[in-house]
Amino acid sequence: MAGLPRRIIKETQCLLAEPVPGIKAEPDVSNARYFHVVIAGPQICTVLLSTQALLSAPNPDDPLADDVAKQRSSGSPTKPKP
């Protein structure tokens, strides 16, 4: 870890000494500025069910894209008419 700022060295040592539950992070052996990280997450089934719930009940008051929420709120058609 030579050549790294002291803060980075200290944070890396702290991370290795006190790992965060659900996260495995270790510095790359050839470049300590890079980390190999594994984050425990939900099962695929849980992700798909959550996505389905979001799609079936969209919340225009908390949109990802403002223009889409405005279109939905204004009652504009979602597809152009043929």
Residues marked active site are found at 45
| Widest Cα–Cα separation across the chain | 66
CA dihedral 52, 58, 62, 67 (to 10 degrees): 110
Residues near 24 by beta carbon (within 8 Å), at least 6 away in sequence: 37, 38
Question: How far apart (Å, rounded) are the C-alpha atoms in residues 60 and 67?
Answer: 10
